[in-house]
Structure 1
């Protein structure tokens, strides 16, 4: 019996203080680990393709694509760090120690808050492009977008540092046994996080995209009517280009998918610990992480340049001299 009990422990030598291993059936645990690991590898690979594409091809060096790269970096880190860490936390024992557990918590807040910031910046970019097309090239420049992206990541690092400072100074404060990595947030910090990383950003995104939707619909109707088109050509307010409307639609789908995956996480957080059991709460978090794999799929479906870039990368044509000047659009 002692041998059996020891076999179920994460650290058999610590009989009284070690956590027990996952109680999932072996077949279910293998299936879950295989599925999540596959999604993690796919997320890393697809987002790496996005990053290489935009950095390599000069035609893709646009303000909007810089924002997509920032989002792809956060998605890449989700697949590289957060997904494996969550697999280790929920389906196995945490063998990396208290310090790595604290760093995992810290990095997870940096990445998720940066993703939310990127979505807000994308919404602002589309709002200016559709609602104020004449001022887009002067207001949204590559230099300003790069500065905004840097500020977004800097604020995410600073915010996360303040948010999880107690976990970094006392990493094992909430661990009940050796072999687990528990993320516990007090109610005040949780309420602040709910406002700053959910309510405020989501409100801004929805308001901006409602305005974009109204303007895009009115302009689409104008382009379908010859009389209205002639009238608008003489008007002070120009219509947005068809390519801008298509980009707004694509990025709107991107934002919608993000909201669908983000809302359950914060709803569970808002409802409290008793709203779902630990297993169901984990699947809600997996859904949020899964959106990092969906973003490049959306690019592949709606952006022809991404398909062309993938072909260039996979066939190693990007290694040829002058390939960065290739016509990819």
Structure 2
């Protein structure tokens, strides 16, 4: 049924149904194909990361445990959030108010976990480069696993408090049937901005600026062949070359994350008038696309990831004792 030339999502609900999006058919099909392809690629690539780190015992290092947590959140982005966003932006929401609330809830959890993982990765590199002598004792696999679990639990708890009204009253902010929206009041939005954007981003930048400064000073020291006595007078002990390389790789990961993440909150800061435009959709897709880019960064910079993918694709991981294969 059409009203004023526009089709309704639920024709039987004439007065309470939303209108279908007016995106041209060809444009909608192209958008579906592109976004669905990115979603499938995100799921596949992050699944390879999850299998690699989980299966091969040599990869059970503190840094890789953090990458595993990030890969799980990226996997969920491709599996749940991207398809939900495609449905919400290009079609009517046919899954009901409760599923809409749960979708928004999961979205907040995954976003919080991703930010938390980036903070933990920055802290890991900070200790590895700035205090390498104490790194093996301070950053253990057990402690990192505990931090990852706390990160997920805190994200679940925080999202529950933040979206309490949306979860208890799923239809509270629904103006018509066929839409899935989330409404955040000014105070809650300001708190979320501080806790999930300003504070974490500040911590990440400060930690990595420190890492960068130490890495540069050590690179200069190595190039100019400073004597051992001069090196001993340095405040910071010399880090391993492998640790510096890992810091560079994870630095790229964090920079790409910031490029994809900052516009998302930038649009939020701009106000509601911009959130309803195509700019809001673009920054949302940009933020989600980061989950697809992360495994590509691993493939470009980590030989162990390329080697493990080869073993997975050729099904050699199904052989007995394959978990003990030398990957590094």
Give TM-score, length-normalised by structure 2: 0.97
Aligned to 1:29: 28
Closer, same or farther: CA 293–106 of 1 in aligned 2, 3 Å: same
Distance in structure 1 (CA, Å) of the matches to 2:266 and 2:2:
43
* CA apart distance, 1:10: 1.1
Aligned to 1:135: 134
Aligned to 1:43: 42
* CA apart distance, 1:229: 5.4
Distance in structure 1 (CA, Å) of the matches to 2:169 and 2:155:
21
Closer, same or farther: CA 299–33 of 1 in aligned 2, 3 Å: same
Q: Which runs of 4+ in 1 moved over 4 A?
A: 2-7, 233-237
Distance in structure 1 (CA, Å) of the matches to 2:272 and 2:31:
23
Distance in structure 2 (CA, Å) of the matches to 1:278 and 1:184:
16
Query: Do the aligned partners of 2:130 and 2:236 also contact (CA within 8 Å) in 1?
Result: no
RMSD: 1.6
Q: Deviation per CA, 1:119-152, whole angstroms, max 9, x where unpaired?
A: 0000000000000000000000000000000000
Map of 1:126-275 to 2, 5 A cutoff? 126-228=125-227, 231-232=230-231, 237-275=236-274
Q: Deviation per CA, 1:79-136, whole angstroms, max 9, x where unpaired?
A: 0000001111110111110110110011000000000000000000000000000000
> 1:201 is paired with a residue of what secondary structure?
helix
Distance in structure 2 (CA, Å) of the matches to 1:14 and 1:276:
27
Aligned to 1:294: 293
**Structure 2 runs not aligned, ≥5 long:** none
Query: Do the aligned partners of 2:130 and 2:237 also contact (CA within 8 Å) in 1?
Result: no
> 1:82 is paired with a residue of what secondary structure?
helix
Distance in structure 2 (CA, Å) of the matches to 1:281 and 1:235:
48
Give TM-score, length-normalised by structure 1: 0.96
Closer, same or farther: CA 233–304 of 1 in aligned 2, 3 Å: farther
Distance in structure 1 (CA, Å) of the matches to 2:45 and 2:272:
34
Closer, same or farther: CA 182–235 of 1 in aligned 2, 3 Å: closer
Aligned to 2:308: 309
Distance in structure 1 (CA, Å) of the matches to 2:21 and 2:235:
66
> 2:204 is paired with a residue of what secondary structure?
helix
* CA apart distance, 1:228: 3.8
